[in-house]
Structure 1
Amino acid sequence: MNNVSQFNSKETIQAKACEWIAAIDRGLSAEESAALQEWMAANPSHQKMLFEMARLWDDMSVMHALQGLVTYQPHKTPRRVNKWLAAAAVLAVSVTGALSWNMLSAIEPTETVASVTQESATEIGEQKTVLLADGSKVFLNTDTQIRVNFYPGFRQIELLKGEAHFDVAHDPARPFTVFAGENAVTAVGTAFNMEFTRDNAFELVVTEGKVRVSQQSVSDSTTTAERNRAPLPIELEGVMVFAGEQALVKESVSARTALTQSEIAQSLAWQDGQIVFTGQQLNKALDEISRYTQVKFVIDDDRIIDTRIAGYFRVGDINGLLAALENSFDIQSYQDAEQNIHLHRADSSI
């Protein structure tokens, strides 16, 4: 059974308003114009939401077109109809101080509507913290890219590649959803880490609070109108992941694993510029190290592939890594003309 949470009244109005804005943008037919007038007349909040959504639109011509459509009057009083039409005409040119506050609030939203779009990325070997408009913090690991879109009713972030830790500002009225591949993680106020692994799968570690994982995606080709069509739904059958738990997410959520405080600290050690290995095979360890450097590693000796690596290594400290491999694991190295680093056992004839 695939149950989806129902939008509340405000969200339903917002979704319909977005559909009307998209229709205004392409041009209304006579029938659509009449239907829009009827919809606006049905409830004063309908018109208010239309203006809110128009403010988020990329093209200001939509706002001008909408202002020209404001011809209805919810109260059947001739005097107030004249005031309404006069206010609409004035607004089409400029809003002046002669309008009363009550008159202005009937035309414009009473709250300032903020639509924030930003993109942030790091190069290979670079890390940085990004402060979002809502007060949330995102710590980007090496070779990571995110895209942020904030709307009145929801906060949307896309993890396009790499790894990021999200410290979410508490705002129950605006769900915070991070899309990665074909899945999404939604939180209200919490902290969690997401890392792309392979084939659009990502590893999730929740460090505070709880999150809901659901199967959702945001296509690069999705238009602003489609993204505004409705707030992001949270599937009732999504999987809850709690603080101290780890899960691999792809088409479904793997069995959740409870982590110790030490294990959580190790998984987040990259935020302190460290990589921690606790018995990983050499090739896996080198894959992780390669995320932070342009240097390529080549294993020339099959006998060292299964070598288990343990220890703390500084991000980008290749010399320190090679010294540790030689001193602790009897693995030597040399660099070829293309700057690739070759690894082999000390007693190898290579």
Structure 2
Amino acid sequence: MTRDAQIVEEAAAWIDRLNRPVVDAAAGPAFDAWMAAAPRHREVFAEMQALWQSDALVEALGQSCLAPAVAIPASVVTDRSGRLRRAAPQFAAAACAMLVAVMLIVPVLVTSTYRTTAGKGRSVVLADGSRVDMSGDTELRVQILPWKRSAELLRGEAFFDVRHERVRIFRVASGTTSVRVLGTAFNVDRQSPTRTAVVVYRGAVEVGVAGETELVLNTGYGARVVDGHVSAQRRIAGGVPDWKSGWFEASDVPLGVLIDKVQRYSARPILLHDRALQALPISGRFHVSDTERALQAVQAAYHVNIAYGPKTIAIRPAGEADDR
């Protein structure tokens, strides 16, 4: 069993225990300690509590074919608020079992994946009405469920215009970086497996690592997450990300990050094997959607050799021989 599955089961047990007619005195302090132990505990419990009080669980129980005992008995109905009234301990156990199943199985079945190729952007309207604009060479995995909304940026860059909802928080993951919003417009750029940049264009978001909130960003501000460390960035100008017009403004970022952004628009692979060059800090404004123009700017400013082959583009330190 994975750690996340274990947390789901623990949260379901707490839901069951706290919704009983009589709660023992020890439950309160024990529940507080469990909630305080990890941010993921609080996140999963909130999702399960929302599902517990939603129509989704009623429908899942009504359609269940796990066993005859799981079917909703006549004594179990919903009250005016839509919450389940559970009349028997065996039903509560069945409901909790179904709760765990819904939390663990349904997300796998309803995941949508969106991809773009180099040089080809794409706009997607999600099931909740939120809009995502994807840059070239980008992959995004999305789940819109009755109790939560989440997306994972596997590679590339995307601009999110999230539809506001009071209950279902929208979360975006990029590696170990997490962005938590209710309704706002923001950009997430996965620059490498351990490096992500976030900029807010409307509203506010929480940026964190491994479930811990590190920084709250308001409109016009950004953050950079590198190797698990979050740092605030200077205030940005403009109402849309630079990538939408094909530009990238670098401020002391590794050359490897810039080349990866140029690669999102280039049909030919761009090879940058030298580790020192990959880590070379650069600054400036680059027209990344124009591959040749961007690489010429790099060559002029940082004195590197660029060799254009029929199938690849190679970048090497100045003076190194071309061994294509």
Given the two structures, how large is their TM-score scaled by the length of structure 2? 0.60
Q: Counterpart in 2 of 1:194? A: 188
The farther-off stretch of 38-47 and 142-151 is 38-47
How big is the alpha-carbon RMSD for the aligned residues of Structure 1 and Structure 2?
Answer: 4.6
Structure 2 vs 1, CA of residues 38 and 212 (structure 1 numbering), >3 Å: closer, same or farther? farther
- Alignment partners' CA distance in 2, 1:8 and 1:200: 27
Deviations 1:82-127 (A, max 9, x none): xxxxxxxxxxxxxxxxxxxxxxxxxxxxxxxxxx975422112222
Q: Counterpart in 1 of 2:64? A: 25
- Alignment partners' CA distance in 2, 1:19 and 1:313: 54
For the Cα contact (< 8 Å) 2:47–2:148, is it kept in 1? no
Identity of aligned residues (%): 24
Flag the structure with more relative contact order, 1 or 2, with Cα contacts below 8 A and sequence separation at least 6.
1
User: How far 1:193 moved relative to its partner?
Assistant: 1.9
User: How far 1:271 moved relative to its partner?
Assistant: 1.9
More strand by share: 2
What stretches of structure 2 of length at least 5 have no aligned partner?
1-35, 86-94, 103-109
Q: Counterpart in 1 of 2:244? A: 271
**Amino acid of the structure 2 residue aligned with 1:190:** T
Q: Counterpart in 1 of 2:105? A: none
From 102, 122, 127, the counterpart of 1:128: 122
Asked whether 1:155 is paired with 2:155, we answer: no
**Amino acid of the structure 2 residue aligned with 1:21:** A
**Amino acid of the structure 2 residue aligned with 1:315:** V
Give the secondary structure class of the aligned counterpart of 1:37.
coil
Aligned pairs for 1:94-243 (under 5 A) are 118-181=112-175, 184-199=178-193, 202-213=196-207, 238-243=213-218
User: How far 1:7 moved relative to its partner?
Assistant: 4.6
Give the secondary structure class of the aligned counterpart of 1:205.
strand
User: How far 1:246 moved relative to its partner?
Assistant: 0.5
Number of corresponding residues: 262
- Alignment partners' CA distance in 1, 2:278 and 2:291: 19
Given the two structures, how large is their TM-score scaled by the length of structure 1? 0.57
Give the secondary structure class of the aligned counterpart of 2:73.
helix
For the Cα contact (< 8 Å) 2:51–2:146, is it kept in 1? no
User: How far 1:133 moved relative to its partner?
Assistant: 4.0
For the Cα contact (< 8 Å) 2:262–2:294, is it kept in 1? no
For the Cα contact (< 8 Å) 2:117–2:136, is it kept in 1? yes
For the Cα contact (< 8 Å) 2:138–2:156, is it kept in 1? yes
- Alignment partners' CA distance in 2, 1:281 and 1:248: 14
The farther-off stretch of 273-282 and 135-144 is 273-282
From 41, 53, 73, the counterpart of 1:37: 73
